[in-house]
Every structure is written in structure tokens, then in C-alpha cells.
Amino acid sequence: MNSNMFTLRLPVTVRKELEKISKQEKIPAGQIVRDAVDRYIAIKQFRNLRKIVLPFAEAQGLITDEDVFESLKK
């Protein structure tokens, strides 16, 4: 993995909470931030993909999550 340094400014209250969680969980604060950013990116990518495929799904009658699950059972 190619890693680059990134500077992040956080409000004091957020930084203190991050440090507290880091100590409690015995996970480096940097890892917590990386995990949070990874999750954020994954969610954004999912939502963008969903916007693209939603019209196709609706055309097939797949409106709700339940519709999708029922279709997958077949």
C-alpha cells in the first residue's frame, strides 16, 4: 500500500474524544481515522452506484430492498 502523509485539523473536543477512544480500544488514532475515511468513501461509492442502477432496477419492478431480496431467492 502506498501511503502518503496527510494533515488533518480537528476541533479540540473531537481530538480529545478520538484520543480517548484510541486508548480504550488500543487502536492508533490514525487507524481509526483511516477506517472512518474508508467507510465514508465506500458509502459514497455505493450511493453513486445506486443512483446509476436505480432506474434500471425500477424498470424491472425492483422498488424496495424486499423486492431485490425476493428476486435473488428465485
In a domain, 49, yes or no: yes
Mean pLDDT, to the nearest integer, of 33-49? 96
Q: Tell me how far apart the alpha carbons of residues 37 and 71 are, in angstroms, rounded to a whole number.
A: 33
Cβ(37)–Cβ(28) below 8 Å = no
Mean pLDDT, to the nearest integer, of 35-58? 92
In a domain, 47, yes or no: yes
Task: Provide the pLDDT for residue 1.
Answer: 59
User: How many domains does the structure of the chain reveal?
Assistant: 1
* Structural domain of 62: 36-74
In a domain, 74, yes or no: yes
Task: Provide the pLDDT for residue 2.
Answer: 66
Task: Provide the pLDDT for residue 68.
Answer: 78
Write the pLDDT tens digit of every residue in 60-73. 888 888 887 888 88
In a domain, 13, yes or no: no
In a domain, 19, yes or no: no
In a domain, 59, yes or no: yes
Task: Provide the pLDDT for residue 6.
Answer: 86
In a domain, 21, yes or no: no
Largest CA distance in the chain: 53
In a domain, 2, yes or no: no
